Amino acid sequence: MSEQRNETTPVSSLIRRFGPIQIASWRLMMEKHQDFMAQFERGFGRRHGLTLNEFDTLINSDPEKPVRQRDLLRSMVLSRSALSRLLGRLEARGLVVQKPDPDDQRGVLVTLTEAGVQLRKEAEATNAEIIMAGFAGVSADEAEEIFALVSKIRPVPVADEAGKPGCNDAGKPDGRPVPGEEHSG
């Protein structure tokens, strides 16, 4: 009996046949990302009793010193309230300790407990195992090439409906020219 594979439907193959290769390539990266995320979810859940967000919190926490909750928030894709709830669950499991930040009255410091450091290390090994298994058919030189190629991809904010330049993450104009817009200077 053949082994069942849990891969995303390759819409990228259809786009490759009928659309720009850049869009097909982007779609393929998203499909592979989705495939990896499914493997991470299963691996972290089965082996360590962790959700993806719990793993992300542990891996973004410094095992040797406290981290500010706001710094964790910047490195994760969660709302402030979702992170607070998640940290509460991790604290209830004895994996982190939260204390007021003595340098910032409104801030919270998050510290991994000994159990949290150990689970972080174990889950990090599972993370590496899943990634390395996914790259099993890729040589080190090919991985370097993939890294170099993906590093060249740069998202550029699109202009709004009025043709004004896009904004950076801080909501400030990024200064990049909008295609088709003339600049004096």
E strands, 69-122, where? 96-101, 104-112
Q: Is the pLDDT of residue 150 over 50?
A: yes
SS3 state of residue 100:
strand
Q: What is the pLDDT of residue 6?
A: 60
**Sheet containing 96-101, strands listed edge to edge, beginning at the edge strand earlier in sequence:** 67-68, 104-112, 96-101
Average pLDDT, the chain: 86
Q: What is the pLDDT of residue 49?
A: 96
How far apart (Å, rounded) are the C-alpha atoms in residues 45 and 28? 26
Taking the alpha carbons at both ends of the chain, their separation in whole angstroms is 68
How far apart (Å, rounded) are the C-alpha atoms in residues 183 and 185? 7
* Residue 108 near residue 98, CB atoms below 8 Å: yes
Q: Is the pLDDT of residue 161 over 90?
A: no
In the chain, the percentage of residues whose pLDDT exceeds 90 is: 66
Higher pLDDT, 1 or 160: 160
* Residue 98 near residue 90, CB atoms below 8 Å: no
CATH number of 49-142: 1.10.10.10
DSSP 63: S
E strands, 118-159, where? none
How far apart (Å, rounded) are the C-alpha atoms in residues 54 and 93? 11
| pTM, full prediction | 0.75
Tens of pLDDT, residue by residue over 112-134, are: 999 999 999 999 999 999 999 99
Domain ranges of the chain: 49-142
CA 161 vs CA 7, 153, 165, 179: distances in Å: 37, 24, 10, 13
Paired strand residues for 68: 109
Q: What is the pLDDT of residue 177?
A: 46
Q: Is the pLDDT of residue 180 over 70?
A: no
